[in-house]
Amino acid sequence: MSTPTEREPDRQPGREAGRAVPQPQGAPQHGEPARPHPQPPDVPERHVKDSAPPAPQAAPQHGETSPEPKEEQEQPAPQGAPAPQPGRDAPLYGLLAEFPDGDALLAATRAARAHGYARVEAYAPFAVEGLEEAVGMRSNRIPLITLLGGVAGGAATYFLQWYAAVVDYPINVGGRPLHSWPAFIPATFEITILGAALAAAVGMLALNGLPRLHHPLFEVEEFELASRNRFFLCLPARDPAFDRTRSSGFLRSLDPLLVREVPA
């Protein structure tokens, strides 16, 4: 005889022996509609970028050099600031001292010559009596150059007239001599004066080193007053007695308005 068996209870999903199985948080219950998944709060893009760690720079490959840091741009000097002086090792054209009048310049020039400076340069807006002798100018070659130019012009003009009238194309005019020198004098005299004037002008420019569009002294701003009302004394660096420190101290002892180093 068969023994009746007990009917096992129907097991539904999510249930076990009358005990409910815990569901994950946020999961919809049986028979409830699905809840929307919560979204994370909006984070500003700038905040995301700022909070992001900096990306590491790529290491230089073999044979490449690492990039050099950018140099900071130099800030312009404020107006009214003194101009920078050349370095101690920079080549110099010389030292320049400014004086208020011609007498002070003349006295300073004589003192420089007495201290052994042989190549002294003096600049003045007008002629100062005795300044030429003070700087060491003993002779002036302009008169000789002027004489040679006049003689050359007159001789060339006279020879041209003689050659044309006597050798190249002689003409008998009323039995007059071919070499009629009184007729040659006016042109000879005129070209003599012209040749002397041109030789004097060209010689003056050549002896003064002109034309010269640039000179190291033009770099000194105060030198513009040399053609107005200031007088300057320059000790060139090519002078055998020149020494930067000693020459600067010597110029300052002459009580000038200022002393400047002139870059080469």
Q: Is 153 exposed, middle or buried (0-12, 13-18, 19+ CB in 10 A)?
A: buried
Q: Which long-range contacts (CB under 8 A, 24 or more apart) does 60-63 make?
A: none
Confidence band, pLDDT 50/70/90 cuts, at residue 70: low
56 or 48: which leads in pLDDT: 56
Confidence of residue 81 (pLDDT cuts 50, 70, 90): very low
Return d(Cα 68, Cα 64) in angstroms, integer.
12
Give the tens place of pLDDT for each residue, 215-242. 999 999 999 999 999 999 999 999 999 9
More confident residue, 31 or 138: 138
Could you give the CA distance from residue 19 to residue 21 in angstroms, rounded to a whole number? 6
- Position 18 scores a pLDDT of 46
CB 111 within 8 A of CB 105: no
Query: In the prediction, which pLDDT does 197 show?
Result: 98
The pLDDT value given to residue 176 = 87
What is the tens place of the pLDDT at every residue in 241-252? 999 999 999 999
Q: How does pLDDT run across 101-131, given as a tens digit for each residue?
A: 999 999 999 999 999 999 999 999 999 999 9
The H-assigned helical ranges of 88-184 are 102-114, 131-135, 142-162
Cβ atoms within 10 Å, residue 151: 14
Q: What is the mean pLDDT of the chain?
A: 79
Judge if the upstream peptide bond of residue 211 is cis by omega within 30 degrees of 0.
yes
Largest interatomic CA distance in the chain: 192
Place of tokens 């020459």: 247
Rounded Cα gap, residues 162 and 184, in angstroms: 8
Q: Give the burial string for 93-104 (b: 16+ CB within 10 Å, else e).
A: bbbbbbbeebeb
Tokens of 194: 């012209």
Q: Who's near 19: CB < 8 A, 6+ residues apart?
A: none
Residue indicated by tokens 């053609």: 227
- Give the pTM: 0.55
- Residue 87: strand pairing partners: none
At 31, the pLDDT band (50, 70, 90 cuts) reads low
- pLDDT score at 213: 87
Higher pLDDT, 25 or 95: 95
Q: Does residue 9 register a pLDDT over 80?
A: no
pLDDT (tens digit, 9 = 90+) per residue, 198-210?
999 999 999 988 8
Q: What angle do CA 192, 197, 203 make, to 5 degrees?
A: 120
Backbone dihedral region for residue 159 (phi beyond 0: left; psi -120 to 50: alpha; all else: beta): alpha
Residues in the chain: 264
The pLDDT score that the predictor gives to residue 6 is 47
Q: Of 45-54, 96-105, 112-121, which gets the smallest average pLDDT?
A: 45-54
pLDDT of 61: 57
Chain position carrying tokens 């199985």 = 21
